[in-house]
Amino acid sequence: MEAVKPWILLFSILLLFSHIFILTTLAEGVTPQEAKLLRDEVRGMFYHAFDGYMENAFPLDELRPLTCEGEDTLGGYALTLIDSLDTLALLGDRERFATSVEWIGKNLRFDINKTVSVFETTIRILGGLLSGHLIASDYATGMKIPSYDNQLLHLCEDLARRLLPAFDTPTGIPFGSVNLLHGVDEHESKITSTAGGGTLTLEFGVLSRLTNDPIFEQVTKNAVHGLWARRSKLNLVGAHINVFTGEWTQKDAGIGTSIDSFYEYLLKAYLLFGDEEYLFIFQEAYGAAMYYLYNDPWYVEVNMDSAAIVWPLFNSLQAFWPGLQVLAGDIDPAIRTHTAFFSVWKRYGFTPEGFNLATLSVQHGQKSYPLRPELMESTYWLYKATRNPRYLDAGRDMVTSLQYGARCPCGYCHISDVEFHKQEDHMESFFLAETVKYLWLLFDLAAGSDNLVENGPYKYIFSTEGHLLPATPQISLIREHCSYFGAYCNNDDSRQDSRTLDLSTDHQENKSQLYRGWDPSSSPSDNTLREPTSISGSMKGLCPGLTHGQKFGISYLASTDKKTYEGESTSQKEATVVPTQSAVIVSNPDAESTGQREVTVVQSHSLVVVSNPEVEFSQPDDKNDHDKDQGLIEEELESDPSQDIDEGA
């Protein structure tokens, strides 16, 4: 990737010294009192948009905020109301939350002749209903509805079963769309995005745990297997794939459009479910992304096979990445990348869908800002991790831009052109599910948080649509599904202080290793099998029980790569513990053996293992396959591949 360095360096210099790109620091930062005022202002923004929807668009899907009308955009089932449920709960609005849950339980039906996006329906509708159910049914949330009788959960199960026909493909990767009444149309496209096929595990996995039916989790995990099994030798995945043949139809690898939430759900599925296989895949995928896609502080798109630069473009969906890095504990690059991304917001007042890093201008045909939440999300996570007041300043700038540039009579408008702040008559439901939610959480955290997420009974994982999924014992039971000091253990010994856990026994299905380092020279095409790792440790409340695979009937795919990482003991990253959201397995950095590393299970809900950013990845000696000279780069920049921007958050 050396050939791309000069223009990255040039833009970094411009970023630091240009009056246009400089990230200014306000003379006086946001005080706690101002944070309270900003929190209240964001609350007002939510109700301006929510009331505008309820008064002018409900029960249609979404609001047209300029003309104060409604429109059906997904399935015609009150999309914005469902997407807003947990935001109402987060704001402590018991009356409207209860009224909304009651209306949905009585009126929502999915036996309709509508063809819907599997991805969007899962993250918006299924995720919104699941989150609403988990809040409404639990006294511990403080929002339990006395008359509630699992109506939303029944709707979730009905909807998910109507989506299941989409997964009936030779690869296990689902079709992009399905008819809720008739299943998959015979003329349905066989091409889907990596994000579309790989961003279903949280919602379907939670549903399996709530209904005790493994089919939902099984099909979505098979979809992840189907995608990851077709990764390149560089551990990169492309943007679009044929769900029947498994052939990649677009081999551009990146962290943004069409791929973004695939990475996100690998880590979050591990954090929520404790399934180490997701962690192992994430570690390999993340390592490859940081090695081939990262040009500090930006990310580019490359060919998944050769790592040749496809297009040096920042697209707005990449802005979630620093937040994901916070969850992974990789803080330093997250800070630098967020600074770069926010510089684009500072320049235009919003982030365009595409910003060309070669021409330093808005990409042609990608000038809009559809109220996306990704930059707000990363800003919240970075402030939570660092408490640096500059992220409050950034949040204040975002609120100002939205209030003066996007506010319209009945809600908030899309910006069709960030250079001229031209408004468009549409408001996506994710504005209420995510954009204002992350801004409110940011300022509430600074003002002295008192909300369900920060002070509630559980740790929460946010779905890619910003829905709250709690790490309850029923959902997140660790290992043998006995956790939380033996809450669900049946034998008398379950509450002893510690027990030894040996995962090398014959009945254990999940034998994936937790590699802390990553070596791009180790190819997944090597037809060998990794040696299993014997894991021992201690955890309060651990008791014998079924393994994850045994309980849910999931067959783990055996790795086809037997070769251990050569030289891993020298390239091994040092383990560091930083705050985040789940109990995590910590490798012992002192262990010299690659195949038999000592692993300790740490009982905590605020620890995660991260790699020391000061230790470099081991790199192959020969990078000629993915290096390009400057002439070839300039030749490629003359082309302008169309960018298929996902409408989902």
Burial of 27 (0-12, 13-18, 19+ CB in 10 A): exposed
Distance CA 369, CA 281 (A): 32
SS3 93: coil
Candidates 61, 83, 86, 120; catalytic one: 120
Helix ranges (H only) for 358-414 are 374-386, 390-401
Backbone angles phi, psi at 58, to 5 degrees: -55, 135
Max intra-chain CA distance, the chain: 71
Distance CA 261, CA 247 (A): 20
Candidates 93, 252, 264, 353; catalytic one: 353
Cβ proximity of 241 and 164 under 8 Å: no
Distance CA 58, CA 61 (A): 7
SS3 314: strand
Backbone angles phi, psi at 544, to 5 degrees: -65, 145
Q: How far is CA 33 from CA 36, 39, 221, 447, 475, in A?
A: 5, 10, 46, 7, 38
Q: How far is CA 136 from CA 89, 122, 143, 455, 465, in A?
A: 9, 20, 6, 17, 19
Helical (H) or strand (E) element with 343:
helix 331-348
Residue type, 532: P
Number of residues written out for the chain: 649
Q: Is 519 a catalytic residue?
A: no
Q: What is the distance, to the nearest Å, from the Cα of residue 265 to the centroid of all Cα atoms in its chain?
A: 5
SS3 315: strand
Work out whether the CA dihedral 599, 600, 602, 606 comes out positive or negative. negative
Q: Is 374 a catalytic residue?
A: yes
SS3 268: helix
SS3 446: helix
Residue type, 181: L
Q: Is 377 a catalytic residue?
A: no
Residue 273's Cβ-side half-sphere holds a number of Cα atoms within 13 Å equal to 28
- As beta bridge partners, residue 241 has 192, 248
Candidates 61, 62, 203, 374; catalytic one: 374
Helical (H) or strand (E) element with 361:
strand 361-362
- As beta bridge partners, residue 116 has 178
Distance CA 201, CA 279 (A): 13
DSSP string, 50-73: HHHHHHHTTTSSEEETTTTEEE--
Q: Is 34 a catalytic residue?
A: no
Closest CA relative to residue 340, chosen from 369, 382, 310, 302: 382
CB atoms < 10 A from the CB of 490, how many? 10
Beta strands (DSSP E) in 544-643 are: 575-578, 585-587, 599-601, 608-611
Helices 374-386 and 321-328 pack at an angle, to 10 degrees, of 30
Closest CA relative to residue 199, chosen from 171, 223, 164, 172: 223
Closest CA relative to residue 533, chosen from 493, 568, 582: 568
Which residues belong to the active site?
Answer: 120, 260, 353, 374
